Amino acid sequence: WAAEEYYEGAPLAQVLKSRSPLNTLQALELGIKISEALAHAHGKGVAHGLLTTESVSVLGSLAVKVADFQILYAMAPAGTRDARYCAPEILSGEAPSPQSDIFSLGVILYELMTGRRPFTAEQAMDIALDRNYEAPAAPADLNAHVPPLLNSVILKALKPRPASRYETASDLLSELLLCRSSIVRSLNRERFQEQSMALKPSIPPPARAADPPPPPPRDRDLSLDDLGKSLDLDGDMDTGQYRKRQIFAIAAVAILIATFAGIGGFLFRSCGGIRDNLGTGESGVVQVPNVVNLDETEAKFKLGHADLKTEIEKVYSADVPEGLVIRQDPPAGKKVKVGRTVKLIVSLGDQELVVRDLRKMPLREAEQLAKDMGFRVEVEREYSESVALDHVVDQLPKPGEKSSAGKLIKLFVSNGPEPREIDMPDLIGKNINDVHRILAENGIPYGDIKSVPTNAYDVGVVVSQSILPGTRVNTKSMGDVQIFVAEPAAGGAGGVSPDDDPFYDGDNAADSKLKKKNMNVTVTQDGSEVVVEVVDRNGRSEAYRGRHNGGETVPLSLEGRGDVFVKVFINGRLEQQVKF
C-alpha cells in the first residue's frame, strides 16, 4: 500500500471530458503548472514514470497536483500501462527518465489544446518498435488559436527520440512561459484596439445588399481573468460596478490615445518615422537572436519575430539530432538591418554509409579514403607477421557494415613482425633486392643504403654490413643496420684507383707485398665482445675475437697484402674502420 496527501480536486481527465477543449490560455496555464511540478521533481532526481491525465488533479484557481510518482509505473504491469501517454522508450522496457516524462507531458499538452491525444495505443506501440512512425497532426491544424511557437513546443516534446526532445523540464517550462507572454501581449493589443474603436463616433454604414458573414468565433472568450478564477468560472462581479469601471477605462484610454498620439507624432517627425528594434539603439537595426540547437520551426518563428528572414540549408550530422539548427550566419548577437536573411544549417540526422574495405592498404592511402567517405580516423598499431609495415591489418567497423558520416573508423596498422632475438644474417655477396626481402622477413630495421665504388663485386651486390653476421640481435632494440652496396669504380680522374678499392683483386708486385700494423682497441662496457675483421687482396678474414670488460685495452697485431682495411666490431656493431 502507499499513502499520499489528501486534497480536494478533480482529475484532469474528468475536467477534459466536461470542458474539452479549454481555451488556449487556460490550457497553457495548466501545462505550465505541470511543468513546474516535473522540474521540481527532476531536480530532486525523481522521474514520474507514467504521467497521464489521471495522475494530475486540478484544484481551484487552476492549481494542480501531480501524484503517483513512480507508483503507477512500479505497480502496473508493462502490458497494462496506458500506451497513449507512454514515451516509446518506456514501451520498449527502458527505465523512466526526465525525457520520458517530457514526452508524456507533450501528450497532455496536445490533448489540452486539441481535445484529443496525438497517438492511439496501436500507433504508440508502432513507434516504440520503430514501425511506421507517422508524426501527429500539428495542434495548430486542429485548433486555429494555437500560436506557432506553442505549436512547435508541443511537437518537440513529442519527438520519438529522447535526444530530440527538451533536455530538461525546466527548458520546456521556459518555452511555455515565453508562449504565455506572447499570447498575453496579443490579447492586450486586441483589447486596446476594441476600446479604441468604442471611442469613435458612430457613422451609419453605407447601404449594402446583404450583411457580410459573421467573423469566426474567438477562442471561447479567451480571458486573462480566467487565470485567477477556479474552473467553475461562475462568479461575476456586480453589473453596475463593472459598468462604472468600463466607462472609467474608456475615458482613461481616450486620454492616453491623445497623449501618445502627440508624443508619437513628434517622435515620428524627429526620427524620420524609422523605429528602433530590439533595443539596439540604432534605427532600422536588430540584434540577431541565438537559434542554435532550436527546432527549425522554433528558429524560424524566433527570427521572424525579430523581423528577419530565413534561408535553410540541410546537412547530415552524426552529433546533432534531426531538425535542430547546427549553426547560423550571421551569428547570435550581431546587429543587422531589419529584413536581413539569416542562413540556418539544419541537421538531417545521421547519414548511413557503407564502409569500404581498407585492409592491406598503405596507411596514408587508407586514411585519405576514410576521410573522403566522411569518417573520422583513429589509428592503432599492432604487430603482424602477414601484413607489411605501415599497412592496414584490420578495421572497425568491418567492410560492408553501415555507419554514419562523422563517426569514427578505427584502423589497425602493422608495425611489422613482432620483435624477437635472431642471429644477424650474412648479407655480403647478396643482391640488394634479396637483402630487402631477408630484412623484411626477419623484421630487421635498416637505414639508407650506401654505395661503395668497387670493381670487385657486381653492381647492386652488398659488399659490407654494419652488424657482424651471426651477432645475436633483438629486432626491436637493435637500431638500424647499415648496408653498403657496390657501384662501378673507374680508374683515372674522377674515378677510383685500384689502390683505393678495398676489394680490388690485382696481381702486381705492390699488391702482393705483406703489410703489418699494430693498433689498440679500448672497451667501454663490461662483457663486450670484440671482433676484428681484415679485408685485403685475399678477401675477408677474422683476425681477432674475444670478450673484455670496460676500461680494458685490446692490443692488436694485424697484417695483410695490398691495401688492407680493418673493421672493428664491438658487440656486433661496426665501431671503427682503419686502412693501411
67-97, pLDDT tens digit by residue?
877 665 556 555 556 788 888 888 878 889 9
Distance CA 27, CA 320 (A): 32
Q: Which of 3-17, 117-131, 432-446 has the highest mean pLDDT?
A: 432-446
Mean pLDDT, range 253-261, rounded to an integer = 45
Residue bearing the bigger pLDDT, 22 or 191: 22
Dist CA 217 CA 47 (whole Å): 40
Tally: H helices and E strands in the chain: 14, 24
Which CATH code, of 3.30.930.10, 3.30.750.80, 3.30.10.20, 1.10.645.10, is assigned to 419-504?
3.30.10.20
Fold of 357-414: Trypsin Inhibitor V; Chain A (3.30.10)
Give the CATH number of domain 506-580; options: 1.10.260.30, 3.40.710.10, 2.60.40.2560, 3.40.50.970. 2.60.40.2560
pLDDT score at 283: 63
Mean per-residue pLDDT, 101-107:
94
Sheet holding 309-315, edge to edge: 309-315, 341-347, 325-329
Q: How far apart are CA 421 and CA 554, in angstroms?
A: 28
Most confident region among 123-132, 214-223, 405-414 by mean pLDDT: 405-414
**Cis? peptide before 397, omega within 30° of 0:** yes
Residue type, 376: R
pLDDT range class, residue 33, cuts 50, 70, 90: very high
Q: How many CB atoms lie within 10 A of CB 367?
A: 19
| 206 exposure class (CB count in 10 Å sphere: 0-12, 13-18, 19+) | exposed
> Please, which pLDDT band fits residue 252 given cuts at 50, 70 and 90?
very low
Contact yes or no for 564/515 (Cβ under 8 A): yes
Q: Which three cell numbers stand for residue 390?
A: 605501415
Nearest of 57, 49, 114 to residue 85 by alpha carbon = 49
Q: Which residue has the higher pLDDT, 388 or 193?
A: 388
Q: Which residues contact 315 (CB under 8 A, 6 or more apart)?
A: 326, 345, 346, 347, 348
**Phi/psi-derived region of residue 44, left when phi > 0, alpha when psi is between -120 and 50, beta in every other case:** alpha
* Mean pLDDT calculated for residue range 276-293: 72
A 10 A CB-CB count for 543 gives: 16
Q: What average pLDDT does the structure give for the chain?
A: 77
Q: What is the pTM of this model?
A: 0.39
* pLDDT over threshold 70, residue 255: no
Give the pLDDT confidence of 55-70 residue by residue, as tens digits.
898 887 678 888 877 6
**What's the pLDDT at 271?**
38
pLDDT at 129: 61
Phi-psi region of 116 (alpha: psi -120 to 50; beta: other; left: phi over 0): beta
Comparing C-alpha atoms, which of 540, 548, 553 is closest to residue 571? Answer: 548
Q: Find how far residue 175's CA is from the centre of its chain.
A: 25
pLDDT level of residue 290 (50, 70, 90 thresholds): very high
**β pairing state of 446-453 and 573-579:** unpaired
Residue with more model confidence, 500 or 387: 387
C-alpha to C-alpha distances, 321 to 49, 299, 324, 348, nearest whole angstrom: 24, 15, 6, 8
Domains 285-347 and 419-504 equal at CATH topology level:
yes
SS3 label, residue 123? helix
Rounded Cα distance between 345 and 319, Å, is 13
- 190/264: higher pLDDT: 190
Q: Where are the domains of the chain?
A: 10-185, 236-267, 285-347, 357-414, 419-504, 506-580
Which residues contact residue 44 at a Cβ distance below 8 angstroms, ignoring those fewer than 6 apart? none
Predicted confidence at residue 239, as pLDDT, reads 30
Find where cell 508619437 sits: 264
Q: Grid coordinates standing for 320?
A: 546533432
What's the grid cell of residue 108? 497532455
Which tens digits make up the pLDDT trace of 159-211? 888 888 898 999 999 899 888 888 877 776 666 566 555 555 544 544 444 44
Residue 289 C-alpha cell reads as: 537572436
Rounded (10°) angle between helices 98-114 and 148-157: 140
Q: pLDDT at residue 233 above 80?
A: no
Q: Is the pLDDT of residue 344 over 50?
A: yes
Among 253-267, 286-300, 356-370, the range scoring the smallest mean pLDDT is 253-267
Under CATH, which architecture does the 285-347 domain have? 2-Layer Sandwich (3.30)
DSSP classification of residue 561: E
Written as one letter, the residue type at 308 is: L
pLDDT of residue 76: 57
Residue 477 phi, psi dihedral angles, 5° rounding = -105, 0
Q: What single DSSP character describes residue 467?
A: B
pLDDT tens track for 543-566: 899 999 989 999 988 888 777 888
Whether residue 375 has pLDDT greater than 70: yes
Give the pLDDT confidence score for residue 247 in this predicted structure.
36
pLDDT, residue 113, reads 92
CA dihedral 21, 22, 25, 27 (to 10 degrees): -80
pLDDT band, residue 345 (cuts 50/70/90): very high
Topology adopted by domain 10-185: Transferase(Phosphotransferase); domain 1 (1.10.510)
What would the pLDDT profile of 146-158 be if each residue is shown by its tens digit?
Answer: 998 899 899 999 9
Contacts of 398 (CB under 8 A, 6+ apart): 355
Phi, psi of 539 (to 5 degrees): 110, -155
Q: Would you place residue 353 in the very low, low, confident or very high pLDDT band (cuts 50, 70, 90)?
A: confident
Residue 278 has pLDDT above 60, yes or no: no
Per-residue pLDDT of 425-467, as tens digits, reads 989 889 999 999 898 888 888 888 888 887 777 888 988 888 8
